[in-house]
Amino acid sequence: MSRKETGTKTRRGVLGDAHVDRANANTTAFDAPFQDFITEGAWGTVWAGDHLTRRERSMITIAILAALGHHDEVAMHVRATANTGATMEDIREALMHVAVYAGVPAANTAFKIAKQTYAAMAAEARPA
């Protein structure tokens, strides 16, 4: 299997088909090389590695994104915890590390985003 195929499979497994389908539908000639890069590099190499679990990668990723202030990506990866096995408690602990090592304001914002995302996920899961 090529790195792109592995990356696509891993990306779908973590973020879900709907997210990947939206990303693919929005890809243009301008950003196609970037999409290939992240599919092969991030998803086909880093996320597809066999040393860390998806749960562990999820926790690390959310902590890094929170520390760097990448709020949309924090929300996206909190949603992905439904597929990675990282629990709310895991994410809480990762964000506590963010508070100590990257600052309370970064963690405070990430906690707010995570709470909103988990609430939205719970609302979506409720039967209509």
All domains in the chain, ordered by first residue: 1-51 (no CATH), 52-128 (1.20.1290.10)
pLDDT interval class at 126 (50, 70, 90): confident
* Residue 116 identity (one-letter amino acid): Q
* 13-34 residue pLDDT tens: 999 999 999 999 999 999 999 9
Residue 3: the pLDDT is 96
Question: pLDDT value at position 67?
Answer: 98
The helix/strand/coil state of 34 is helix
State how far the alpha carbon of 114 is from the alpha carbons of 6, 88, 108, in Å.
Answer: 28, 9, 10
* Cα–Cα distance, 8 to 19 (Å, whole number): 12
pLDDT greater than 90 at residue 128 = no
Note the pLDDT of residue 127: 85
For residue 60, which of 122, 102, 29 has the smallest C-alpha distance? 102
Q: Give dist(CA 115, CA 22) in Å, integer.
A: 24
| The pLDDT value given to residue 95 | 98
The structure tokens listed for 82 are 């439904």
Mean pLDDT confidence for 40-60: 97
pTM of the model: 0.93
Q: Is the dihedral of CA 68, 70, 75, 81 positive or negative?
A: negative
